Amino acid sequence: MFIFPIVNMGFLDKLLAKLQLFWIHKFNKDENYKNMILENPNAEYWRDKLDDEYYQYSHLHKSVNGQPINLKESENATRIVSIHASKGNGCEVVFLLGLTESSISKKWNNSENNLKYESLLHVALTRQKKSLYVGIYKNGDNINKRFEKYIDYKTSSSIEPKLDFLSKKNNIIKITEIIMENEQLFNSIRDNDIIQFQNFEDYINIEDDKKLIDWGHHLIRKTVLKYYIHYNLYKYNHKKSINNQNFDQMRTVYYHISTYTIQTFGYKEYYQKINRNISSNNNDKKTVDDKILPILHFDIMDRINSKYNIYLNDLKDKIKIIRKKIKASLKEQNLPDLDILECVILNYLLCIVDGKNNQNIKMVEYVSIMDVYKIMNIFDCIKQELGTENDLNINDEKFYKTTKKIHTIMNNYFEKLESEYPDEIFIYNIDHSISLKFDNLSISNNNNIIAYSDKYIIDITHIPQFTAINMKDIIIRCFLQYFLINLVDGKNKRYIDKKIITCIISLSSESPIFYEFTDIHINFMNEFINDILFNKYLQYHNQLYDFFIYYYNFNKLNCIEIILEQIIKYKNNIKNNSKYIEYINGFFDLFSYDDEDEDDKEEKMKNIISIVDKNNFINKLNKELKKILKRELRVLKLLPVILSEIDINLEDQIIEQKQKKTAEPLPFIEDNTINWQNNSP
């Protein structure tokens, strides 16, 4: 079992694939290991599985909105789990990796921190039955210091500290997680009637509460739901002759998928290609070598009848079908009709063609190659259970039921809009994010669907399930999005002075939830966000003290100047300079004086010596943080007033539709603008 403080994408996708590859080789090419399985009486489960079938040897478990995880599927496999998910589970051998002070303590304030911190650390260190391997960072934090006496390397006092733990970015999903895990913060929302949770209880599907949805099935439901919401929105816009540039951009990405070349790679080359694609997406510079749809193979090409090779070839065929459907739909000004498996594969392809750095892709948005193979195996297993050779029948049956329900949901959505807002023409921003940015903090929402007209905004959240377990999590997130949309800056003029309607679409009900939060509670939210961010940034202060002490011991008189130089160096080196928290620089500036003045030197040393005491350092830094947050968050009280005074011109697209009543249809893409030749090998 592999345990991490936080389960996110990035390298965990690579680890999952590497573990799968490791076990495939053990079971298929290592004769000594195969003989050991045959002779070991405790290996009964795997004894009859030394064949050409596909087996999921490694599982990445992820809880979605606090819902329970189905661990049955990984009882005889290697698990990758968070510390939370590992509670009550043990394995012979455990690898505990990515362990840092901040990764464990980031969600709680001081009064809760010690107890929960120690409790989680205890859970993490007691999951092994035989052997425990712990990987820690040489960063001088609390975890590092605890393990010093057990590890033969330089002590933390001699380890040059890093600043890469600093970030001013605050995503609404992360803020929601902090609220849900902090009883004091959650109670303040509930007890002050900021959100009336009881208003949503009638929408809960009791049956869904009883289901254990593993990550694979959750991904299927989420992917199909998202695609067919987009499909129905596009179809409705086209039917109403509403020209929407967002859909044109979506079709452009689909067009790229239809022209890229399919190639297969081994593990190392595959992830090199993935990283190259991400880099070219970030830089918006693509060469012919970048225009490739890579597929991972498991290096057992000599076994033609192996399910791994069968799935590989099936996947290539599926991608060719998807590309063919995309080309046909582009000619007809539509989005393609896709079955369930094709929706999942398309999402994987979108991550390759249009995805940015996958370290920043949220787990709930990312489809990896291992997800694709797992879901192909799910359909294959269902086919075998039903005794049919035609997996398309199973796919089509499930597809029909699911998509029929989504079409019904979306028809109900459009009927609601036409009955309640008959004169409004809505423009849809697909996968749109909005944010507020200051010197020391930024707050942003996850990519959502936001519809806007000249009077209304509809903030659409789509989730596979809406249950008693995740209801509060979802509603808090929706309220935070409502709060953020109310406070967007002047760049988002299309959102100013409009009534905001929250819409929740899920497979739990055929009727979308429409809800209007009646008050932004600006004074409460100002203090509330202040508390959240203060507690978040507070976690950095112990490490900043270690950062200071390291350079103080190195050069007592000039340590502040060296620290300021290190800060500048760090800011210049990080990929995104905007994520740095400026108050850190300002704090150390307080202790910088003119070196040419002897009196200044003496005063400087007194001040520096005063913060050698850790309590003094932390207290002074806390005061600086409080001052900065108060200054920056004070703007939130004024922002709605400031924005309402701006002379707003309605969106050109809306004005154009109003004047024309019937707009021109989307421009037809002529054959001569697209190379329709199939580039697949």
Read off the DSSP letter of residue 181. H
d(CA 362, CA 224): 17
Q: What does pLDDT average to over the chain?
A: 78
* CA-based nearest residue to 66, from 164, 213, 170: 213
Which whole number is the average pLDDT over 644-671?
A: 40
CB 9 within 8 A of CB 362: yes
Residue 672 confidence (pLDDT): 31
d(CA 344, CA 312): 15
Span 577-632, pLDDT tens digits: 555 577 888 888 888 766 556 667 777 788 889 999 999 999 999 998 888 888 88
User: How many angstroms separate the Cα of 130 from the Cα of each of 85, 380, 493, 645?
Assistant: 20, 36, 60, 67
User: pLDDT band for position 278 (50/70/90)?
Assistant: low
Which whole number is the average pLDDT over 516-523?
A: 78
* CA-based nearest residue to 433, from 411, 453, 448, 418: 448
Residue 265 confidence (pLDDT): 93
Q: Are strands 2-4 and 427-432 parallel, antiparallel or unpaired?
A: unpaired
d(CA 431, CA 426): 16
431, pLDDT greater than 60: yes
Residue 410 confidence (pLDDT): 94
Residue 212 confidence (pLDDT): 53
Helix, strand or coil for residue 650? coil
575, pLDDT greater than 80: no
369-386 and 11-28 helices cross at what angle (nearest 10)?
Answer: 50
Which of 287-291, 340-344, 556-560, 643-647 has the highest average model confidence (pLDDT)?
A: 340-344
* CA-based nearest residue to 262, from 317, 302, 300: 317
Helix, strand or coil for residue 230? helix
User: pLDDT band for position 178 (50/70/90)?
Assistant: confident
Which of 392-401, 429-438, 448-457, 482-491 has the highest average model confidence (pLDDT)?
A: 448-457
d(CA 335, CA 170): 34
Which whole number is the average pLDDT over 376-392?
A: 67
206, pLDDT greater than 70: no
Which of 95-109, 313-327, 330-344, 361-375 has the highest average model confidence (pLDDT)?
A: 313-327
Please state the pTM of the whole predicted model: 0.80
For residue 192, what are the contacts with CB-CB under 8 A and spacing of at least 6?
521, 524
Question: Would you list the domain boundaries of the chain?
Answer: 2-162, 214-416, 540-612
CB 59 within 8 A of CB 73: yes
Which whole number is the average pLDDT over 199-227?
A: 73
Residue 351 confidence (pLDDT): 84
Backbone φ, ψ for residue 638 (5° rounding):
-95, -20
Span 535-565, pLDDT tens digits: 778 878 888 888 898 888 888 888 888 888 8
Span 131-171, pLDDT tens digits: 999 988 777 677 887 887 777 665 555 667 777 667 778 88
d(CA 445, CA 435): 7
Q: Which one has a higher pLDDT value, 443 or 419?
A: 419
Helix, strand or coil for residue 432? strand
* CA-based nearest residue to 434, from 443, 426, 425: 443
d(CA 308, CA 331): 35
User: pLDDT band for position 288 (50/70/90)?
Assistant: low
For residue 535, what are the contacts with CB-CB under 8 A and spacing of at least 6?
108, 109, 110, 178, 182
213, pLDDT greater than 70: no
d(CA 160, CA 296): 39
Which of 250-259, 517-526, 530-539, 615-624 has the highest average model confidence (pLDDT)?
A: 615-624
Which whole number is the average pLDDT over 628-654?
A: 56
Least confidently predicted of 36-50, 170-184, 635-649: 635-649
Residue 17 confidence (pLDDT): 92
* CA-based nearest residue to 429, from 247, 160, 625: 247
Residue 679 confidence (pLDDT): 34
